[in-house]
Structure 1
């Protein structure tokens, strides 16, 4: 069961795109167009997370954030066209949990939503959703990896690497960072070790390990998880193309 997410965005096309992406993740989404309605709906529905545009009619997003933060600990992700450091710090000082500058990828927003929901602790272990990219699912509750209906056997180190990558699709991680996630700071291991684990993961989850579609190499940096794969990628392209028309 997904989260209940309130989206406060006065741009109709942007709000619809965000709604569709989040619903594809299994969340229940409610959309409002102004700050006054955001306050009313947040109080009425008690959402698990609020996505809040800064520039809105009636009451702006910063005031909505300030008011709600005095009443509730609901996680808040701010959306803004403002890109200065002062604006970002102001939003965080008012109590926002994350801050995304426009224009942004809806897939990036979905990844941020996953991270904020898990970090907030509002979902018990039983309520957490698996990370899903295409047919690949990484279930942190059951400590289980599935490819479609098939369960994939992975080692603890492979699971840690896969969990880190799947939590932030599209983000590049250095080999050193992935090693720290898999083995901790107290162990000394070579960077080459992560390459071996990734090679073994690809053998287990990739349709063609020689041309990986899930775990991608970022040359000179390390690895990243594809943000969409197969049918999901085609669907995302259609959704974004439709929004652009």
Structure 2
């Protein structure tokens, strides 16, 4: 989700500082609170896209805070707790949490959980006809903006046109000739590697690993396609 605002609620300063580094590096806007009461105050003043909420905190713990937040808010909540017992997990999920991470945790694991929750809500948000959403890939035909897992990607006009064409035909294989003729408005001839160069550049921008693409794939001997997913 573009420019998502996250609220991290934890009374451990080390966790706050550690996750600030990871989350800000990913481009998220991060707000922090040290207990449930402070979190409730922030929620009434700021639009929040996702909350990471510790259970064991002074003044108001995470369970009570979650119950009160769920009275008015539907954004995803990921619970944190030093307790790993099944009952604690059940309690957290039963009061409205969407996910649960046990301390100590890997910052990369928590980051992956956050991205997963943001991707889930984006996929179920009402979409305009100008938007194409394929898993974490968002293409806006009106603004010519592209983002992957909430992070904006800058494409040239021709790269955008290729990606949009494939996305609007997600799940279908388009031949090199079909793509070239549609985008360049001229005849395609064998040995012309212009399209291949553009495909490579697009992958470098939208794929985590361009050598193992998950969005823009090659169907050998046929052409290219955008995988159709939720």
Taking structure 1 as the reference length, the TM-score comes to: 0.55
Within 2, Cα distance between the matches of 1:41 and 1:64?
A: 12
Deviation at 1:28, TM superposition (A): 0.2
Aligned match of 1:14: 15
Over residues 155-183 of structure 1, what are the superposed CA-to-partner deviations in whole Å (9 max), with x where a residue is unaligned? Answer: 9xx52699xxxxxxxxxxxxxxxxxxx89
Q: 1:2 touches 1:129 (CA, 8 Å); kept in 2? A: no
Provide the alpha-carbon RMSD of the alignment: 3.5
- The structure that is helix-richer by fraction is 1
Over residues 174-207 of structure 1, what are the superposed CA-to-partner deviations in whole Å (9 max), with x where a residue is unaligned? Answer: xxxxxxxx899xxxxxxxxxxxxxxxxxxxxxxx
Taking structure 2 as the reference length, the TM-score comes to: 0.58
Within 2, Cα distance between the matches of 1:42 and 1:147?
A: 38
Q: 1:4 touches 1:47 (CA, 8 Å); kept in 2? A: yes
Q: Does 1:159 align with 2:209?
A: no
Structure 2 residue runs of 5 or longer lacking an equivalent are 128-132, 140-145, 151-162, 168-198, 218-226
Within 2, Cα distance between the matches of 1:161 and 1:129?
A: 14
Deviation at 1:24, TM superposition (A): 0.6
Aligned match of 1:42: 43
Residues 57 and 160 of structure 1: CA distance in aligned 2, closer, same or farther (over 3 Å): same
Deviation at 1:42, TM superposition (A): 1.3
Q: 1:54 touches 1:62 (CA, 8 Å); kept in 2? A: yes
Q: Partner of 1:72: helix, strand, or coil?
A: coil
Deviation at 1:131, TM superposition (A): 4.8
Aligned match of 2:63: 62
Over residues 92-130 of structure 1, what are the superposed CA-to-partner deviations in whole Å (9 max), with x where a residue is unaligned? Answer: 111101100000000111110000011123766448842
Matched ranges for 1:92-107 at <5 A: 92-107=93-108
Matched ranges for 1:1-245 at <5 A: 1-121=2-122, 125=133, 126=138, 129-131=147-149, 146-147=203-204, 159=214
- In the alignment of these two chains, the number of paired residues is 155
Residues 110 and 149 of structure 1: CA distance in aligned 2, closer, same or farther (over 3 Å): closer
